[in-house]
Chains A and B, each alone.
Chain A
């Protein structure tokens, strides 16, 4: 895209060229606190409302307040827009707008920028009074000019000073104006979006931001010579635009949840922020507990009393909740837990994406604690998964862990407005009098299911315990009792498994390679598969929503492909690394699970770069695996 020539000064051309693309990726980057994220989010929302496919990803520094003008401090948003549905963040950026050259340099060094990309960068640093800053600018520009970019310097601060005293608070809307001109965004929609974003502030704030938007637009109109057309090809009617955490919150409301108990943890906290804005209007209560453990306890207590309760957390919080999750399983109290995964063990990478909690979610509870683990693959599925999770938890009187990740949590995507169904709100707990002699764990010998006794039910009084217990909920250490109750709790998973359908293969039912994924990687995997199939490669993919119990028929499906591999955002050893052997190689977490469950030699390709996977990278891996298969 664009000219080969690096332009060091303002462009002024009498002729504006418009280039049309089926999709384009834009980044807005700045230091923390300069509003690049709001600029990017607004651009994404406006594009979605105009009928473009959109996927946004937040670029978040690891630290809350990193040093200004440092490559590690790059903060902002990547917005991929398309004529059609966009399912992932793509490969590299085509257009970037940066508030300083250091954050732009960071993106360049991460290989995040496409060849021939158009880069618009604030140029106040070139003439800054601080000699060191001028030197940094010069060095950065030299490095950037070594690549094949078109660099356009923009006097953001100088222009914004005409409207605001502190341009740090205004550049983002000026940048948004530039993007609106370049991509011919509807300014009425943009103004409305800005007004919505600042709805809780004084009217003058919105007015000021509107002025900055217009200023950026008119500056671009006077100085830029290239516009990009990504034709809106979708209907924007009856469409919602939100991120995965918002979708979880709205899904919880739609599912008739009564209580959300949580303790703040990145990147899950914004679920509670969203709930905090509207949960009470639907009779819901959000409880911020004193810690993660208490949050799980409160949710279990509420559920025990007949309410519909869930708790929200991320990996470190899931670890802390472990004992209480076991109580939910042992006492058969329905509970939904949302795990918004982040990177690393311990506190790890709070703001970065990873899918490393899978095995902990599956097996993290000491003792045998069979429960359900499911994973939405899109932002739309984040919404709907809450309805299903509630129903499964109540039907099977068990724990359901819903696993999303930071990619889904902060990514924004439009999706069809759900047609709300009152049935999602479920039924009232059965409080009809308990027949004489019926015990609280009246397990059906075949299914392990039993009626849920809610406090207040006539004839249903019993002692609740997390200790081994018999049908009457009496603590019992007799050898046969634990064997039976364990079998009953486990049987429920087999019964649920019997209701699951085999997953649908994306692509042909047989071939050289089957790529298996779970969670947020669906869009990137399927785009990579499409690219590979367009080259004539016989590759298909499969995306799992239920990890426990696993969806049925996997062994049969795997058997129709020469090779099977998982693609995941967690760590695995590269087989070519020192000391790594077939025997000691640590594999991707889903690969591990699939190998154990199917006895198929499932390979894996995984990365923990702290960012979503790129379809281009997966495409390369597919090519590589198929060529290896041909050679062997």
Chain B
């Protein structure tokens, strides 16, 4: 049985055109212009097995948050079917809520001025968790997410990464079998993201929790998930294991070198120059041909490197490449 099963799920919004100003606005209020139907999600289908960790990625406005909201029952679909933990979300929202944990990256459910533990206490009441079970559960989550010493600090005193770990632990207090994360990594630095990955890995190893997270950052995907669903303009574009996606679309990397020398050059197979400016060289590396370490090593021996940045191809490029069906183009220029 699937943890999440989605069949031909679609959602359209009815939008009215902006009414303009002054009299036009008044007229529009009295006799509204006909609404335009704008599809946000168009017939998306997928299934997620228990214990899987799946990234749901797409650019802003692709429909990922809309889909996630439908899976939690907050938004009702226009068509199609979905089952989450055996429930139809929009029919049984409150019963489903006891089986899933939700983290909205931009919305805290922790009380800002109070110690984290106070919010946990309240959530235990919200979900009707017994005293003993709650104590045990909180201790366990504190271990998994390494937040034991944060629990008695006010939320306002936590860093963003610490707070997110507490948010996720809070969403897991009632031991849901499915964890949904909406843009959890916005604003996190690299270290915090790495810590998050380790904690989520520990979670799925210890508890077999199904994880579905949305993101618009290709960097998140490889670090956290084992399977990727790409959505764009409301349609499912791609659904495959991370390894396959990595080989096909994420094998290219961009390296930006800032050098003491005005003109730098690296000659290695699979390395192309994407952009060249004085003291600044942007390379496009096919990591299948030449691993990234070798390129960096070569740069360090040949030039005095003042700065070095390695970047993933931006999501837009990956999506363009998927459309074109030409994986090689995945790391095209456009961000240097």
- Real complex partners, A and B? no
Chain B contacts to A: CB under 8 angstroms: none
Give the B-binding residues of A (Cβ under 8 A).
none
